[in-house]
Structure 1
Amino acid sequence: MLLNVHSQYSLRYGTMHIENLLMEARAKNIHQLVLTDINNSTGCMEFIRVCRKHGAGFEDRHGVYWPPYQFKPIVGIEFRRDEQLLYIGIAKNKEGMKELNDFLTLHNLNQTPLPFEPPKFQNAYLVFPYGKRNKLAENEFIGIRASELNSLAGKPLGHLQHQLVVLHPVTVKDKIEYRLHQYLRAIGLNTVLGKLTEKDTCKPDEVFIDELELRAKFECYDFIVSNTQKLLDSCSTDEYTFGKKNKKYFTSSAEEDLKLLIQLAMKGLGYRYGTDNKEALMRIQSELKVIADLDFCAYFLITWDVVRYGMEKGYYHVGRGSGANSIVAYCLKITDVDPIALGLYFERFLNYKRSSPPDFDIDFSWDEREDIQNYLFEKYGRNHTALLGTMSSFKTRAVIREVGKVMGLPKSEIDDFVDPSKEIANRNNPIFKKIMAVGTFMNDMPNQRSIHAGGILISEEPLTYYTALDLPPKGMPTVQWDMYEAEAIGLDKYDILSQRGIGHIREAVKLIAQNQQKQIDIHDFKTFKEDPNLNAQLKAGTPIGCFYVESPAMRQLLKKLGCDNYLTLVAASSIIRPGVASSGMMKMYIQSYHAPDKVKYLHPVMEEQLGDTFGIMVYQEDVIKVCCAYAGLDLADADILRRGMSGKYRAKVEFDRLAQRFFSKAKAMDREEAVTAEVWRQISSFAGFSFSKAHSASFAVESYQSLFLKTYYPMEFMVAVLNNYGGFYQRWVYVHALQQTGAQVNLPCVNHSDAEVNIEKDQAYLGFIGIQGLENRLVELIPRERRANGNYADLEDLIKRTGLTLEQALILIRIGALRFTGKSKKELLWEVHNHLGNSNRPVAGNELFRLPVKPYALPALATDLVEDAYQELELLGFPLSISMFDLLKTPYRGDVLAKDLDRYEGKIVKMLGNYVCEKTVHTSQNSKMWFGTFIDSEGDFFDTAHFANRTPVYPFRGKGCYLILGRVLMDFGVPSIEVMQFAKLPIVDNPVLQT
């Protein structure tokens, strides 16, 4: 009898998860209900599936068995405008749900408000709130609450008698959740709790009540109950099935798809291996059979078509993911990873028991991906194509901020509550305790819908059978649920991703052609991986700017391994991941790498299966190998375990069952219990963070391409890094790296700079993009006007040709962009007020005749490098004229330099370092510690470790130079400093503030 049930997907409104919602309905003996979340259909398919699960009986995550209980799931959408209920749509069937989704989608995509007058639905009902409508169509009803029944007394109902239905909305579970609902509403309305009105929230009685109790409330109007029951009886979701929903064919049939796939694969086989490689031929034939039998031909061909389109446009791509284990993918040029050369494990990629196709992550440059997405939308149609959504949830810090705001707390107090350095003091604060109490209910609740990093869905049916579509800022239709729901429905995503590393490579190649007139074959990977100069840079751990190998942790790992070859880099790309590193396996791997003859294998199976990695699980494939060989699990079960540990599997009950099976089957094979426990500990340590070997190999290929450019063309490469918005570090680090290549890095100049950084020979000019506060219009206009009509003569010329305002002119002067005039900043600041210091704005444009300006004399105005540095800090985020060390009040630069640290092992040293970055980690005792990265006065990197017992509060105080006292520790030949004392040093005062 419940026509209007809200779940948590009624964002910042409903409080119940769908599973909890149905458990509450069971407790109240309710068998029919309609899920109608507000302006979305996110939970509809999940609702249908969970209802069916209850109908079959199930075991919950606590191991409790729940016997079958029959629910009749009905779905719809509650439509609201400006927070006010318009009408409730209830789908009669699958076509009705499509009509409701189409209607909402139309208004979402066109960004128009929902109409007060709804369209005529053929397969859906509409329920209007009581008192809001008189004239009704055949499929329209008036919903009346029990509290509103008195208003019917004595009124002739006439034609309305057959169109009145019970309206008992459900939004919360109980009084506690009603209070939570009030917090959510205040957050959603961006107001404080005290300002909420009755219209802003649901009614306190919007809870589940027993159906008999609900019927009793309407006993004097039994026809209303009868109308409601007829409506419910006429609705069904039985047409919904969950299985393969992706586009079936790339061509016109499965036969044609297979024919084309074989043709393309064989052509690629000749390109990759030649015509007489029997091993490659056998493997490609074996793979093609599995792909055809599992009906994945279209999936491969659509992915191939994406790559083909990109290559025809001149785009560079990197193919990775488990699909890179496939020789078919290699021959189709989806990936550049040779699975035979690397011994990649085919069953990690695909096996006969796998229901979904493997992952292909196709990376394009960050500024080319949108064109690829548009191609897919145009080719497969906007009714069948959409971006994959995601659901962001409330997390602890966000909860503290949001709840604090609606409680009316000042920003300063909220900032204190999220300040890690005040964590201990906050624990005893009663207001903080109250916030955290609310947070226990709110944590992990859905907060807002967003876009998946790169997933695209291409379905056989129109997607609106399953979801309404949103139009996020990305500007492309997006489904209203996430990858887990897509997989449950039967839709497999195509991952079209972007990364800046590809942009670095692409632009560096272009700059080299322009600046040095050399053409680079960046795909000559076989030469790159054997180049001793590239491998020397890997071993030295100096690949700043290079994709995936530039982070502090990765640089240290490369140095600890003495990594000087491709295969070691492939392994390093995976063992750096948190799952391997945190389990202690990374340290064991480094030890074993340097002393392979001393390796003690946990079990002969580990030596047999993992000999190449010294008995240590490094790749996701290793989980499958060990589960099969050690415990006798079949490939499908082993892959489910692997997926469960990678966070991509939601069926926890089945996962737990397989974990138990691992132990029982190992015991049946007479494995020692202690050994089995340790094997399982190592397996579970992967915890969602390890890579497949093919994935790591793909990353390593791109790393080598970046290394080649950085090694032989360092200036152009670092400019490309800067122009593609850097990588792991802040922008100033890459400017520093550019300076270290020998380039002369200049501040922006209106007669030399472009929007981005440019370079000619060894002269690099920072671009206008990096200047804080400079309008986007001027970023593009200043260089465009200069190219069209020549250099700017002076300030007045610049003003007249670009229409500069006073505010924008001041920014350009203060950053030094008019130094070509030969005048000081202060002279120019004086002059600009003569031109723009009144209300009349000059009109941009060229003058036929230019009248000379009368000269005038100014007193001598002093210039100051420190003042310039402060202005650069403000406008660029870092000083360029002088270094941060030169801004210090002290001339002291430390007793030891980074290059000499290895001579001081075990000794206490005092150093000065310019802060680069930090990382917070939790120890096994659940206390916090920090790792820092700094640059010394000679420009070399060094690393620090800050333990909680030495540093009881959060140690870092933002950008600047720090005085560091600590003991030098050596780990596999790599020094770091265990910090004992640590303080940020003051810089000299701004001269402007002293006058």
Structure 2
Amino acid sequence: MTPFVHLHVHTQYSLLDGAARIDELVARAKALGQDALAITDHGVMYGVIDFYKACKREGIKPILGMEAYVAPRSMRDREGAQDREYAHLVLLAKNDAGYRNLMQLASEAFLHGFYYKPRIDYDLLEAHAEGLVCLSACLAGDIPQALLSGRYDDAKRLGERLHRMFGDDFYIELQDHGLPEQRRILPGLRALARELGVKTVATNDVHYVGREDAEAQDVLLCIQTQRFVDEPNRMRMEADEFFLKSGDEMAAALPDDPDALAATREIADKCSVEIAFGVRRLPRYTAPDGLANETYLRRLCAEGMHKKLGGGDEAAWERLNYELGVIVRMGFVDYYLIVWDFIHFAKTHGIAVGPGRGSGAGSLAAYCMDITDVDPLKYGLLFERFLNPERVSMPDFDVDFCYERRQEVIDYVARKYGEGHVAQIITFGTMAARAVLRDVGRVLRVPYADVDRLAKLVPAALNMTLSQALHLSPELRALHENDPVMQKVIDLSLRLEGLPRHSSTHAGGVVISGVPLTDVVPLQLNDVVVTTQFPMGTLEELGLLKMDFLGLRTLTVIRDALSYIEQGGKPAPDLDTQAFDDPAVYEMIARGDTDGVFQLESAGMRQFLRQLRPSCFEDLIAGISLYRPGPMEQIPRYVRGKHDPSSVVYEHPLLEPILRTTYGCMVYQEQVMEIVRALAGYSYGRSDLVRRAMAKKKHDVMARERESFVHGADGVEGAVRRGVPEDVANRIFDEMMDFASYAFNKSHAAGYAVLAYRTAYLKRHYPVEFMTALINSYMGTSDKVAEYVYSAQRQGIRTLPPDVNRSRARFSVEDGAIRFGLAAVRGVGSAVMEEMVACRERDGAFRSFFDFCERTAGLNKRMLESLICAGCFDSMGAGRAQLLAVYEQALDGAAAARRVREAGQLSLFDLGGGQDMLQGAAMRLPDVPEMRQPLLLAREREATGMYLSGHPLDSYRAALDALSVTVADLQEADGMTGVADNASVQVGGLLTACRQKPTKSGSGLMGYAVLEGVTGSCEAVLFPRTLQQYGELFLDDTPVLVSGRLNIREDRANSLLIERMQPLGDALVRTLYLRLPALTDEQMRRAVTFLQAHPGKSPVVLVDAGKRLQRQAPPSLHFDATDDALREAEELFGRENVKYQ
């Protein structure tokens, strides 16, 4: 085997270009007997740490590098096409200094050289050449490009410059993938190397692992470039030679260059970088007044103990001193002070801070320092769940801030610790199972409907892979086995699934370092945000302090609601000190009246809350923990235990104090920790290790721990010795094992529950202020604004229309009602409306439409048209049709008047008799009739996203209220909660945007429309036979009752396949009549079981066929009259015994 080391290798982190997974590359190199391997992704270092670790695991020397993009001129030049061209250059780190220079170059390329690509230039390279090996690169390198275009002298000049920079660490790169261009310049490259006195080095431009992966990589390129595979003139690799070859294959490719092959070994021997993991690089906090940091920490905690716990009892002080001892011993004093400092900054600068989320809420020290707002003693939260003295790991506080002001806190931290010491964190979007099928199908030109059907065969479960889906779905498996086209789509998708597709900024992650970040991690720009090039997990391994600074809309809503309360002359409640014990709040939650309430507003959650009927804060914590996939199966048992305490059974009396608050159910991770402590004598630290092992299903560890739990071990007494029967102990251990993988962190749930209670409290006691704040938080998202405006109306809150003399830019509270905000009018924008409000407050109310036009700066015709259609001028007495007839002339006249005024002359309204002229102008409004109501409402909705002065469905409310599903439910269904995919539904609404298109076969017409409800809208589709049957109803603005099936889509809006239609006016509330042989107990049970399986709003009458008696069923047994349910009733009771009329 010819000795060889690959030095030009692209992994999956050459995004949508490299199809070589790091683990597979390293395994292939090892199988080929190659003991070193390089990574040289395009312009980035995303994968170097993963690559380094993978190589070390396999006993292969990692060579860390990058294929840099080099700007044609200065990296700071960005002038059109001339600076869009860039060259490639391979750089490898020889030593630790070279690795630091490589990170500096990768960072500078993004931060100061980005123009389509992250670019360096030769001046920057010269400044950071120490410790680097430089290869002249592939055909896209400057030297190969010069030779290709016959500019040997230019190639020589650049070669001389690089030789001066790098000396014997500069190599001329030779490649031969069978491309004519490569073979044309190989003699020139060899000649140039001889003339310069530098060595050549053989490389293969690796983009995939094996030759068989060439097609998958070609598809990946098409996904990147948005081209089809069969397009003739697209970007492609023109051969299938770009794989990780053996030394013999490389020798065969470059038979005349044995020295170039040997040079790979020479370079590998030169390169040796050691990365230090686990070295803490926390910044140092400086305490005031020369105090030691530990002393300052203890002072802050003591002050908090007196302030928040009234001085604290002996148990509280014992817990606090224990925590402080662990914090000091584990070296996290600075960490606590850093977190306290930026939270203190936020709170003292009016920036709303959350009550704490994650395991940090289990720390009493954090509670005393005002880092968190949840008393861990009161709610049984455990410190070791956050900071385990028996497991050295970085603690992790996740902190929520007002989403409008989060950046101010990040900026403060950057100022305090230095701009180069703080950055946000990168994250990668990957090609998930359904998405990769759609991507591959698209570039192969497979019809969308076929790909959509294929993708939907992948179960909609979290982290579902294609391999799992093939195992779980017989239909998917059959397509893979029997359909050649689908087999190709699936096979290619399996090769590409999981590859990173793009980089973005982590929602909350911020890294803070005690040393310049570029000494440890390369940086980049995502939009205007500086982020790391390594993801969160890697940063933690490198010892960097990672925190989540999360922007939370709910905090902004709470802040604004409190402000509106104060503006209205009422004292704002002190939410920070309130008890969580208001019965009125729990009554509202138990009704499911939770629109806008944090974590409690989904349709499924509201249904759960009605069953649970929470009456205390512990119920809220449990409800938030239970309503998730996995623990949902505990819900019936929990609800039964709450409402029937006699149903609660404990496997052993020692479990009662631990599980009492959750009615005998295991709900929290902390309960697992408490159980192993109470029953077997574990320490808190070891109990957390057991919890972690259970959650990760580490079976070898669990086998050992079962023995320790049941019979004891070193430092563990064991359950049997504590009087627990062996079979009971094993059953309890089994239950913990089953439960631990989906158990919720109670500390996290408690923090969520605080926000849920606070928002519910505001909604219950200050509904107008709360809903105004909630609506304003969604400005710019008209569907959500409309949803919450209608929600406010359902609560009995008046909503006042937009008015140029009463409205502000945002929604506002006015006389116990919500006034529509002008900036919510589509196409208007907040800046112009803010300026308009300032003008009105400065110079007085607008006297007329024409006065408004003249005095409002920045107004254009589209804005003015939208304001008219929204009804913003209705209070001035003119009709909307009149204003629409003259608004263009009015705006032109206003512009002319402003020009006159700016030229130093008086406006019309400054002249004597201006009021008369104003009235004259008003009188000159054309005498045109007002728009008909349907058109007026349609234009109004177009301008605001909702109907304000009425609704086309107002006269059908009784029929709509009788239905169990709304159009909004169809719009929001996601396949996980709410209406299921392919569910049979009956819904009422208004048909709009009706259109017809021929089928692909040309055999008929398909119908397409939008079905609009009182809230929400959903696409609707009719097949030709249905369209032909109901064609007379398929008209714009027709109110209809439709039956059909919901089609839930990932990549576009949901749609409803309509099967039947009727006029909504014919669909007033109908009743289900069930005729039974007799109203015996057995027959009643049968009917009740059926009705309970289909709860809805249609009344039910049970008919005794023998006695000819009728009995009205109670509201709890009202029926959801879907097609499927009616068919089931007919099958169960006989078609002749079921009437729905």
TM-score range, shorter chain: 0.7 to 0.9
Q: Give yes or no for the alignment of 1:374 onto 2:411.
A: yes
Deviates more, 1:744-753 or 1:619-628: 619-628
Residue 872 of structure 1 corresponds to: 940
Q: Is the 8 A contact 1:580 1:686 kept in 2?
A: no
1:932 is displaced (CA, Å) by 9.5
Q: Check 1:844–1:222 CA distance in 2 against 1; reply closer, same or farther (3 A cut).
A: farther
Q: 1:176 and 1:645, CA in 2 relative to 1: closer, same or farther beyond 3 A? A: farther
Cross-structure match for 2:89: 87
Gaps of 5+ in 2: 71-83, 138-142, 146-154, 461-472, 713-719, 910-916, 991-1012, 1016-1042, 1049-1053, 1059-1063, 1073-1090, 1096-1113, 1125-1141
Q: Amino acid of the residue matched to residue 67 of structure 2?
A: E
Q: Matches of 1:857 and 1:782 in 2, distance apart?
A: 23
Shift of 1:435: 3.5
Letter paired with 1:75: L
Question: Match for 2:590 among 535, 539, 543?
Answer: 539
Tell me the equivalent position of 1:142: 172
- Kindly provide the amino acid, as one letter, of the partner of residue 1047 in structure 2: Y
* Alignment partners' CA distance in 1, 2:809 and 2:316: 49
1:495: which partner in 2?
548
User: In 2, distance between residues paired with 1:605 and 1:593?
Assistant: 20
Instruction: Find the counterpart in structure 2 of residue 560 from structure 1.
Output: 611
Q: CA deviation at 1:733?
A: 3.1
Deviation of residue 73 (structure 1)? 0.6
Contact 1:42–1:467 at 8 Å: present in 2 too? no
Say what the alpha-carbon RMSD is for the aligned residues: 4.2
After superposition, the Cα gap between the structure-2 partners of 1:546 and 1:260, relative to the gap in structure 1 and judged at 3 Å, is same
Displacement after TM superposition at 1:115 (Å)? 4.1
Equivalence for 1:34? 38
Report % sequence identity.
26
Structure 1 position 449 matched with structure 2 position 455: no
Please say if 1:476 is aligned against 2:529. yes
Q: 1:43 to 1:710 in 2, by over 3 A?
A: same
1:245 Cα deviation (Å)?
3.0
Whether the 8 Å CA contact 2:342–2:409 is kept in 1: the answer is yes
Indicate how the Cα distance of structure 1 residues 31 and 565 shifts in structure 2: closer, same or farther if over 3 A, else same: same
In structure 1, the partner of 2:66 is 77
Please name the residue that 1:346 is paired with. Answer: 383
Rounded Cα–Cα distance in structure 2 between residues aligned with 1:739 and 1:586: 32
Which of the residues 817, 820, 828 maps onto 2:875?
820
The separation in 1 between residues aligned to 2:518 and 2:109, in whole angstroms, is 13
Q: Secondary structure at the match of 2:294?
A: helix
* 8 Å CA contact retained: 2:985, 2:1123: no
Structure 1 residue 124 corresponds to structure 2 residue 132:
yes
For residue 260 of structure 1, what is the aligned residue in structure 2? 296
Q: CA deviation at 1:285?
A: 0.6
Mapping 1:649-688, distance limit 5 Å: 655-663=698-706, 665=708, 676=730, 679-680=733-734, 683-685=737-739, 687=741
Paired letter, 2:523: L
Aligned to 1:724: 777
Summarize the Cα distance change of 1:365–1:538 in structure 2 as closer, same or farther, 3 Å threshold: same
Give the partner amino acid of 2:24: N
Offset at 1:324?
Answer: 0.8
| 1:587 and 2:587 matched | no
- Which letter maps to 2:774? V
Distance 1:828 1:484, change over 3 A: same
Which of 242, 245, 250 is equivalent to 2:280? 245
Q: Could you say which residue in structure 1 is the equivalent of 2:1122?
A: 981
- Number of matched residues? 930
**Structure 1 pair 161–196 and aligned structure 2 pair: CA distance change class (3 A):** farther
* Deviation (angstroms), 1:468: 1.9
Q: TM-score, normalised by structure 1?
A: 0.84
CA distance in 1, matches of 2:554, 2:292: 37
1:613 is matched with which residue? Answer: 662
Q: Tell me by how many angstroms 1:376 deviates.
A: 1.2
Unaligned runs of 5+ in 1: 55-69, 898-909, 942-949, 984-995
Aligned partners of 2:576 and 2:782: how far apart in 1? 24
Answer whether contact 2:882 2:928 (CA < 8 A) is retained: no
Does the residue aligned with 2:282 lie in a helix, a strand or coil? coil
Q: Confirm or deny: 8 A CA contact 2:293 2:333 kept in the other structure.
A: yes
Match of 2:106 among 88, 104, 107: 104
Quote how far apart the aligned CAs of 1:22 are.
0.8
Choose which of 210, 222, 238 in structure 2 pairs with 1:186.
222
Equivalent AA in structure 1 for residue 27 of structure 2: M
SS in structure 2 at match of 1:388: strand
- Displacement of 1:465: 3.3
Per the alignment, in what secondary structure is the counterpart of residue 802 of structure 1?
coil
**Relative to structure 2, which stretch is displaced further, 738-747 or 354-363?**
738-747
Once the two structures are TM-superposed, the CA of residue 361 in structure 1 deviates from its matched residue by 1.6
C-alpha separation between the residues in 2 aligned to 1:568 and 1:841? 66
| SS in structure 2 of the partner of residue 40 of structure 1 | coil
2:907 to 849, 870, 873: 849
Which residue identity lines up with residue 493 of structure 2 in the other structure? G
Write out per-residue CA displacement over residues 158-211 of structure 1, whole angstroms, 9 at most, x where no aligned residue.
344433222222210224421111121122223232347586437521211223
For residues 515 and 599 of structure 1, the distance between their equivalents in structure 2, rounded to whole angstroms, comes to 49
Q: Aligned with 2:198: secondary structure?
A: helix
SS in 1 for 2:404: coil
Query: Does the 8 A contact of 1:884 with 1:914 survive in 2?
Result: no
1:420 and 1:953 in contact (8 A); partners too: no
Larger mean CA deviation between 956-965 and 713-722 belongs to 956-965
Q: 1:893 is matched with which residue?
A: 959
User: 1:78 touches 1:85 (CA, 8 Å); kept in 2?
Assistant: no
Q: Contact 1:245/1:459 (CA < 8 Å) preserved in 2?
A: no
Give distance in 1, aligned partners of 2:899 and 2:635: 62
Corresponding position of 1:858: 926
1:372–1:834 Cα change, 3 Å: same
Kept in 2: contact 1:389–1:481 (CA 8 A): yes
| CA distance 1:645–1:546, change in 2 (3 Å) | farther
Change (3 A) 1:26 1:403: same
Judge which range, 606-615 or 420-429, deviates more: 420-429
Residue 827 (structure 1) shift: 0.8
Is the alpha carbon distance of 1:372 and 1:470 closer, same or farther for their aligned partners in structure 2, counting shifts above 3 Å? Answer: same
1:761 corresponding residue in structure 2? 815
Return the offset for 1:626.
4.2
CA distance in 1, matches of 2:535, 2:135: 29
Secondary structure at the counterpart of residue 105 of structure 2: helix
- Output the CA distance in 1 between the equivalents of 2:434 and 2:900: 51
Q: Is the 8 A contact 2:68 2:91 kept in 1?
A: yes
Q: 1:38 corresponds to which letter in structure 2?
A: H
Task: Return closer, same or farther for 1:710/1:217 CA change in 2, 3 Å cut-off.
Answer: closer
Q: Does 1:43 align with 2:79?
A: no
Change (3 A) 1:618 1:230: same
Compared CA separation, residues 18 and 613, structure 1 to 2 (3 A): same
Q: Does residue 538 of structure 2 align to residue 485 of structure 1?
A: yes
Determine which structure has greater relative contact order: mean sequence separation of CA pairs < 8 Å that are 6+ residues apart, divided by chain length.
1
Post-superposition CA distance 1:820-839 (Å, at most 9, x none)? 33111111111123345899
Distance in 2 of aligned mates of 1:518 and 1:935: 44
Structure-1 residue corresponding to 2:401: 364
Note if 1:317 corresponds to 2:353: yes
Quote the offset at 1:803 in angstroms: 4.0
- 1:736 is aligned to 790
Structure 1 residues 592-601 or 3-12, which shifts more?
Answer: 592-601
SS in structure 2 at match of 1:193: coil
Q: In structure 2, give the amino acid aligned to 1:142.
A: I
Moved more, 310-319 or 671-680: 671-680
TM-aligned CA deviation for residue 625 of structure 1: 3.4
Alpha carbons 1:592, 1:614 under 8 Å: kept: yes
Superposition map of 1:914-953 within 5 A = 915-916=968-969, 918-921=972-975
Aligned to 1:549: 600
Query: Paired residue for 2:17, among 7, 13, 20?
Result: 13
Deviates more, 1:92-101 or 1:450-459: 92-101
Partner of 1:988: none
Give 1:714 shift.
1.2
How has the CA–CA distance of structure 1 residues 257 and 46 changed in structure 2, closer, same or farther, with 3 Å as cutoff?
farther
Tell whether the 8 Å contact from 2:897 to 2:908 is kept in structure 1 after alignment.
no
Which structure 2 residues correspond to residues 705-720 of structure 1 after superposition, within 5 A?
705-720=758-773
Q: Determine if the alignment matches structure 1 residue 525 to structure 2 residue 593.
A: no
Contact conserved, 2:429 with 2:501, CA < 8 A, in 1? yes
Matched letter for residue 881 of structure 2? K
Offset from partner CA, 1:254-302 (integer Å, 9 cap, x none): 9932222112111211212233621111111101111111111111111
Which residue in 2 is equivalent to 1:792? 846
